[in-house]
Amino acid sequence: MDFEACRRAFLTRDPRFDGRIFGAVKTTGIYCRPVCPARTPKPENMTFYPTAAACQEAGFRPCLRCRPESSPDLGAWRGTSNTVSRALALIEAGAMDTGDVDALASRLGVGERQLRRLFRQHLGASPVAVAQTRRVLLAKQLIQETLLPMGEVALASGFGSVRRFNETFQQLFGRPPGALRRSRAEEASAAAGGITVKLPYRAPYDWAAMIGFLEARAIPGVESVTPRRYARTLAVDGALGVVTVSPGAGDFLVAEIRFPKVQALPAVIARIRRVFDLTADPALIGAHLSQDPALVPLVAARPGLRAPGAWDGFELAVRAILGQQITVTAARGLVARLVEAYGARLDDPFAASLGLTRAFPAPADIVGQDIAALGMPKARGAALEALARTVAADPAIFTPRGDLESAIAALKALPGVGEWTAQYIALRELREPDAFPQADIGLLRGMADETGQRPTPAELLARAEAWRPWRAYAAQHLWAADADQIATPKRSKTDAQQQRAA
């Protein structure tokens, strides 16, 4: 890291570097964000690190003024290693809470030593340090933003025991965790009233595009969407709960989470961040895609466009299979029938007030069922039942793999999943930034020339080579442009019938 460049970022409090670098002060033992309001220390007393985990592994503790836990988390896009990006996604989902580094490396198809070396090279910290920092910063956020009892904070942030939680905070901050809470108001119960957390992102953020995408695919009873709020039921480890997400007053989203088990909180937050694509760096992605003249006006029109993620791999696969060759509206109708027939009913007054009554069916709920009786071709119903049987036997089928190619191959081995569906699942569930369903009719329409001539899938795939490693975001811009064209009265009947849905 260039010392003078980092130093200038702190002197000018440049928000562009927030989340990219952290400054540690040798004399105080504290590390800060570039936007910290405190007076910038003398140069000889400062050192810089690429991640919060690297700062904490070096023995520094988080600043209580600028709160590093509230900075945009760009870890998934830092560096050039796809393996590190996938490992970070697994750690955020809790892989290190129940396993070790060796198990994490095995899931990614690399050796333990290789994974440690990549983490040192790109993040300046070990996988264990990254996981520990994730727990500490989440706990600190919950302490300062909620009224959860300390025991529930410990469980909700991924600590195995309250004793370990207290020891870590005492060692890191030199005080018990309760001393970090600014308000001494009566503590609340997470299970009874839920908690509200702020989830930061790198601006700009196209909320209108995101909420429009989710609204078009919302399942009645499972999801409820208004222009300023998204709400849905969610199942984590057998427990049913409700999440609502809305735009905040700054560069953050506000999530209200109501779950009976506080231990599910890290997984729920990870899912929200994944669905709303909060780790993306739109400036970096947009600058790269804008090297292609055809994408320049699309990126300029939507500088904050994100790639919506998925809440659950099985749910997305079912949606994608049902949406093959039919419209979004028709696919949503089929999914609604499936949910009404096999989804667990949620008996919660708060959920009912939002119009939420059911959870999406688990794979085991569909195994052995005659799904075609809901009003779809027998072959498609059989494919869904076979998919449910496969996922029930291997719940980890939708976790990130060592590379995009191996992920696509594994997904195509699933019943009813072809190349397009596999690429779509990789894009939304596995969060592969380079996934690209090149045969999608919307993408082909989006790349039509001024005469209306569309490229072939092979021609589009060749053109997209220049968009790597952000082809998923190029696809999102093309889909958005295609949607604008479809919304005009000039669209053809044939195109309307060919519109894909998922």
Active site positions, annotated: 32, 440
Q: Distance (Å, rounded) from C-alpha 155 to C-alpha 158?
A: 5
Residue length of the chain: 502
Q: Find where tokens 């790349």 sit.
A: 447
The Cα-based distances of 5 to 11, 14, 21, 179, 284 in angstroms read: 10, 11, 11, 36, 18
Token pair recorded at residue 315: 């749910």
The Cα-based distances of 46 to 9, 150, 207, 323 in angstroms read: 13, 33, 38, 55
User: Assign residue 218 a region: left if phi > 0, alpha if psi is -120 to 50, beta otherwise?
Assistant: beta
Token pair recorded at residue 413: 């081995």
Name the residue type at position 138.
L
Yes or no: say if 468 and 292 are a contact pair by the CB < 8 Å rule: no
Cα of first residue to Cα of last residue in the chain, in angstroms, is 43
Q: Which residues of 257-268 are buried (b: 16+ CB within 10 A; e: fewer)?
A: bbbebbbbbbbb
Residue 236 pairs in a beta bridge with: 239
Q: Find where tokens 């570039």 sit.
A: 34
Contacts 24+ apart (CB under 8 A), 336-341: 336/219, 336/220, 336/221, 337/374, 337/375, 338/366, 338/371, 338/374, 338/384, 339/219, 339/220, 339/221, 339/222, 340/221, 341/369, 341/374
In this structure, are strands 61-62 and 30-32 parallel, antiparallel, or unpaired? Answer: parallel
- Name the nearest CA neighbour of 266 among 190, 323, 210: 190
In DSSP notation, 416-455 reads: T--HHHHHHHHHHTS--TT---TT-HHHHHHT--TT-PPP
Q: Distance (Å, rounded) from C-alpha 156 to C-alpha 142?
A: 9
- Name the nearest CA neighbour of 60 among 40, 33, 30: 30
Q: Distance (Å, rounded) from C-alpha 30 to C-alpha 62?
A: 6
Q: Which residues of 438-462 are buried (b: 16+ CB within 10 A; e: fewer)?
A: bbbbbbbbbbeeeeeeebebeebee
Q: Which residues of 320-342 are buried (b: 16+ CB within 10 A; e: fewer)?
A: bbbbbebeeeebbbbbbebbbeb
Q: Distance (Å, rounded) from C-alpha 292 to C-alpha 237?
A: 44
- CA angle, corner 456, sides to 452 and 458, nearest 5? 150
